[in-house]
């Protein structure tokens, strides 16, 4: 599986920690890091656009986005057609965002989460499949139809 990851300056350290967790726990996942890589201030919508482009083009199946709170970058991702970004700062939400919402992007807050909890959230999110349940698929279809209204 190919995964794209990106963050603003508020979450570079958490992004690096998340990449270490993925490398250790999911060695088959190929990670494409689209930045940012330093402490210089960047605008999270620019990173969101890069991450989403990798997914909508088919280059990556899933993504992880991080900013200070995880809010701005998740909201920005959800402006892009085909994206279902879920900001999850707990394990239960991470599991549900996959099982019920088939989220294709996970959002995390670099100034909200410690490395340990973030790692557990990422592990839960990456190892939980979409349930495939008809009622959840129906709701997802309705949700995605809102893009065209």
Selected from 3, 4, 5, 8, the binder of ligand RB5 by CB under 6 A is 8
DSSP annotation string for 131-144: ---HHHHHHHHHHH
Selected from 12, 55, 67, 103, the binder of ligand RB5 by CB under 6 A is 67
| Of residues 116, 72, 64, the one with CA closest to residue 90 | 116
Q: How far is the CB of 57 from ligand RB5 (least distance, A)?
A: 25
144 binds ligand RB5 (CB under 6 A): no
Contact window for ligand RB5 (CB under 6 A) among 32-40, 67-75, 97-105, 126-134: 67-75
CB 11 within 8 A of CB 68: yes
Catalytic residue, candidates 7, 52, 67, 77: 67
- Report the alpha-carbon distance of residue 49 to residue 129 in Å, rounded: 25
Neighbours of 20 (CB within 10 A): 12
Q: How far is the CB of 55 from ligand RB5 (least distance, A)?
A: 20
Residue numbers 44-63 binding ligand RB5 by CB under 6 A = 44
């Amino acid at each position: 599986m190919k995964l794209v990851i990106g963050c603003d300056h508020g979450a570079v350290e958490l992004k690096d920690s998340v990449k270490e967790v993925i490398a250790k726990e999911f060695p088959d996942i190929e990670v494409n890091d689209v930045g940012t890589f330093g402490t210089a201030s960047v605008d999270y919508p620019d990173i969101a656009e890069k991450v989403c482009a990798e997914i909508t083009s088919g280059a990556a199946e899933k993504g992880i986005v991080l900013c200070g709170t995880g809010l701005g970058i998740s909201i920005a991702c959800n402006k892009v057609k085909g994206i279902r970004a879920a900001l999850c700062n707990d394990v239960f939400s991470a599991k549900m965002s996959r099982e019920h919402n088939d989220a294709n992007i996970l959002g995390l807050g670099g100034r909200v989460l410690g490395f340990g909890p973030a790692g557990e959230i990422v592990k839960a999110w990456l190892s939980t499949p979409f349930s495939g349940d008809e009622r959840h698929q129906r709701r997802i279809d309705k949700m995605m139809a809102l893009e065209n209204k």
